[in-house]
Amino acid sequence: MPRAPTPIVPLAEAVERFVADGSRVALEGFTHLIPFAAGHEIIRQRKRDLTLVRMTPDLIYDQMIGTGCANALVFSWGGNPGVGSLHRLRDAVEHGWPTPLRLHEHSHAEMANAYVAGASGLPMAVLRSPAGADHAGKGARLGTVTCPFTGEVLAAVPAIRVDTTILHAQQADRRGNVQLWGISGVQKEAALCAEKVVVTVEEIVDRLEPKPGGVVLPSWVVTAVAAVPRGATPSYAQGYYERDNAFYEAWDEVARDRQGFVDWMEKHVLGTRDFAGYLRSVAGGEAAARG
């Protein structure tokens, strides 16, 4: 209980120590602050048999699924926003490539509530969810509870709890307190439903200045911090850089084809030592866009 201060470590060390093969891992961030650098490091370290949890899998899980890190996915909307399909996710589901993927599928409302329940130490969340829709085969357990006051039957969804949550934030201070701001999605709930919390940040600062819309995670709920500038690219970090919409649009072509995807991942992710190397690799790749 005399707590050790939160370690500030290289990302590779954080992933090695706190992401175990076969564990349940959430990398959250609703379009904003998606922890791409951490996802790449998981790919580089060839973690296997992960259960990946995330409302919107986005390109980062497309990459992790396509490189065989995961055997299960808990999610609520699995597309490339505004562009189309996540081809690697589809290939895993439709053809079991590179490895079969079990799905546990929710609506956004169910999943957001399930995260809240996990953060609140409850075994379940209660919500008004429509009856009559298909659930067969979706892999997500649903139940009901009856309100003891009104007799109404309400939907129940099991709480989400994970082994490790990884977030990207704008800033941490030297003691490991973290602040993120802008669209904050379910990041707080994802952090507070996890055994271990790893946060990559744009920068380490002397003092966190409270920001409008700021979400603060005190150091004592943060397991480790790693400084990774531009670590959410091609997602964005409000106040630091914009979303790389062109990358999202171009990804559709890269991921459509297995070999093209493998070559791209080999060259830019597996073939680089760290995220700075990745950024240099893709920046140099504008002409050689197809890998």
Partner 1 sequence: MAVTASRLLEDGAVCFVGIGLPSKAANLARATHAPNLVLIYEAGPIGAKPTVLPLSIGDGELAETADAVVSTPEIFRYWLQGGRIDVGFLGAAQIDRFANLNTTVIGPYEHPSVRLPGAGGAPEIAAHAKEVLIILPQSERTFVDRLDFVTTVGYLGGGDARARGGFPGRGPTAVVTDLGLLRPHPETKELVLVALHPGVTVEQAKAQTGWPLRVSESLRATADPEPREIAALRRLERPAPVPPSRGAP
**For residue 162, what is the enclosing H or E element?**
strand 162-173
Binding flags for partner 1, 258-277, as an x/- string (CB under 8 A): ------x-------------
Q: Are the C-beta atoms of residues 32 and 62 closer than 8 Å to each other?
A: no
Interaction partner, residue 158 (a copy of itself, partner 1, none; CB < 5-8 Å by kind): a copy of itself
CA distance 190 to 197: 9
- Which residue has tokens 């919390």? 197
**For residue 171, what is the enclosing H or E element?**
strand 162-173
Q: 20, 23, 31, 256: which one contacts partner 1 (CB under 8 A)?
A: 31
- Bin 73: left if φ > 0, else alpha if -120 < ψ < 50, else beta: beta
Window 125-164: residues binding partner 1 (CB under 8 A): 127-134, 136-138, 152
Q: 60, 70, 112, 156: which one contacts partner 1 (CB under 8 A)?
A: 112
Q: How far is the CB of 91 from a copy of itself (least distance, A)?
A: 32
CA distance 105 to 159: 14
Q: Are the C-beta atoms of residues 142 and 105 closer than 8 Å to each other?
A: no
Picking from 149, 187, 143, the residue whose alpha carbon sits closest to that of residue 168 is: 187
In the bound state with a copy of itself, the residue whose beta carbon lies nearer, of 19 and 180, is 180
Q: Are the C-beta atoms of residues 67 and 41 closer than 8 Å to each other?
A: no
In the bound state with a copy of itself, the residue whose beta carbon lies nearer, of 46 and 128, is 128
In the bound state with partner 1, the residue whose beta carbon lies nearer, of 31 and 45, is 31
Segment contacting partner 1 by CB under 8 A, of 14-22, 30-38, 46-54, 198-206: 30-38
Q: Does 195 bind partner 1 (CB under 8 A)?
A: no
Interaction partner, residue 119 (partner 1, a copy of itself, none; CB < 5-8 Å by kind): partner 1
CA distance 102 to 139: 8
Binding site for a copy of itself (CB under 8 A): 121-124, 126-128, 141, 143-150, 152, 154, 156, 158, 210-214
In the bound state with partner 1, the residue whose beta carbon lies nearer, of 11 and 116, is 116
Q: Does 188 bind partner 1 (CB under 8 A)?
A: yes
CA distance 78 to 122: 27
Query: What is the residue type of 88?
Result: R
Q: 51, 67, 107, 200: which one contacts partner 1 (CB under 8 A)?
A: 107
